[in-house]
Amino acid sequence: MKYVLITGASSGIGKALAEKFAKEGHNLILAARRTNLLKIIKGELKDKYNVDIIIYTVDLLDSDEVQKFYAKTKEYDIEVFINNAGSGDVNLPWNSDIKKIEKMLDLNIKALTTLSIMFIKDNLDKDVQLINVSSTAGYNIISGEITYSASKVFVASWTESVAKQLKRLNKKIKVKVLAPSTTESEFIEKALIHSKNKHWEINAYKKQKKLRAKSAKDLANEGYKLYKNDKILGIIEDNNLKLSNGKYDNIRWI
């Protein structure tokens, strides 16, 4: 039996992706820290779509847990591995809470890269996909979120480059980047924790984000189109999905 694995599936984009893949008949492995939410999602999706759902509680900030989690996933036939879990920070870099930044970088970069490498290594010549969730901020730095944006630049450039290298070497695995624009989720509220911005700046920021936000359901539908397509990048531009072979073209092939 084949499974789609989604990290960060307890809320927002990950939860919506879980519903979309279940609706399309895929079995799921859902991972996050909040087991209670995963259990509720499992119950709802199982009833609605009659697919098999496995939930896994993991703190991706803990390297040992990441290794144990990956070892456990190897017991299943995974057709799509989606590294979606991520966090943000809205601050000028020198105003940021260092502990929060360390956690954001460990989640957005370290856990994602570790899981990606292990999954690619085990599946080089298999008909499977790895989809890493970056952001439009991974292609255009946001001035009020420089450190977060740069973490997503890493995700975008690393994933695109790996995807292109794998294609050059005629490997079967497909590696892709999903780059959402502002999407309704818990992300913004959490990114604003410890923000040193003034109240009026935070309110203006939230208002602007709310105006532009796509629903997580719509974003998940776009994510599914990326899965069905052979292109490397699916980015939301002007509220629409643009599929391409990526934007990081300055690779020196040696």
Ligand X SMILES: NC(=O)c1ccc[n+]([C@@H]2O[C@H](COP(=O)([O-])OP(=O)(O)OC[C@H]3O[C@@H](n4cnc5c(N)ncnc54)[C@H](OP(=O)(O)O)[C@@H]3O)[C@@H](O)[C@H]2O)c1
86 touches ligand X (CB under 6 A):
yes
Give the binding range for ligand X (CB under 6 A) out of 19-27, 121-129, 184-192, 226-234: 184-192
Task: Choose which of 55, 61, 150, 243 interacts with ligand X (CB under 6 A).
Answer: 61
Near ligand X in 195-254, by CB under 6 A: none
Work out the end-to-end distance of the chain between its first and last CA atoms, rounded to an integer number of angstroms.
Answer: 40
85 touches ligand X (CB under 6 A):
yes
Pairing mode of beta strands 240-244, 233-237: antiparallel
Q: Burial code of 64-74, b = ≥16 C-beta within 10 A, e = fewer?
A: ebbeebbeebe
10 touches ligand X (CB under 6 A):
yes
180 or 234: CB nearest ligand X: 180
Would you tell me the crossing angle of helices 63-73 and 112-123 to the nearest 10 degrees?
Answer: 30
Strand order of the sheet with strand 27-32?
Answer: 53-57, 27-32, 2-7, 77-83, 129-133, 174-179, 233-237, 240-244
Q: Residue 198 Cβ, how far from ligand X at the closest point, in Å?
A: 22
Task: Choose which of 53, 133, 175, 226 interacts with ligand X (CB under 6 A).
Answer: 133
Q: Burial code of 40-51, b = ≥16 C-beta within 10 A, e = fewer?
A: ebbeebeeebeb
Q: Residue 209 Cβ, how far from ligand X at the closest point, in Å?
A: 7
Q: Residue 246 Cβ, how far from ligand X at the closest point, in Å?
A: 17
59 or 102: CB nearest ligand X: 59
Task: Choose which of 59, 77, 201, 230 interacts with ligand X (CB under 6 A).
Answer: 59
27 or 182: CB nearest ligand X: 182
For ligand X, the binding residues (CB under 6 A) are: 7-14, 32-34, 37, 58-61, 84-88, 107, 133, 135, 180, 182-183, 185-187, 190
